[in-house]
Amino acid sequence: MTPLEQYGLLAAFVLSTIGLVAMLRLIARSLGGVRKEPGKDVPFSGGELAPKPVWVRYHVHYYGFALLFLAFDMEMAFMYPWAVVYQELGLEALADMAVFLGILFLGLLYGWSQGALRRQ
């Protein structure tokens, strides 16, 4: 299969996915009606109106913790394909992963020095 045929197949998949989504939205819109009810726009908890405002501000400390979680989550997402091709590439793949993990480790050290792992 030539690269042009592969791109054509990819374009066909993308267009068919877009067509399927558009068709499902059209069916849902034509079959389902929209009723305006005043209670639909009110946030609630367990069937009762919330006594406090629902837009609560979180401490900025949690954003750093979330970013560290995402960094190590992405590490796992990149390590699975790396483990598959490790035997084919050998030492080069090991060196590349060492550089990748080193950069992530530096990010962890920076977050630790800034207090992102400290409990409040």
Report the 10 Å Cβ neighbour count for 112.
Answer: 12
| Angle at the Cα of 25 from the Cα atoms of 19 and 31, rounded to 5 degrees | 135
* Sequential DSSP letters for 7-76: HHHHHHHHHHHHHHHHHHHHHHHHHS-----GGGGS-EETTEE-SS-S-PPPPTHHHHHHHHHHHHHHHH
Instruction: Read off the pLDDT of each residue in 73-95 and give the average, rounded to a whole number.
Output: 86
Q: Tens of pLDDT along 8-57?
A: 999 999 999 999 999 999 998 888 877 777 766 666 666 666 667 767 77
> By percentage, how much of the chain surpasses pLDDT 70?
85
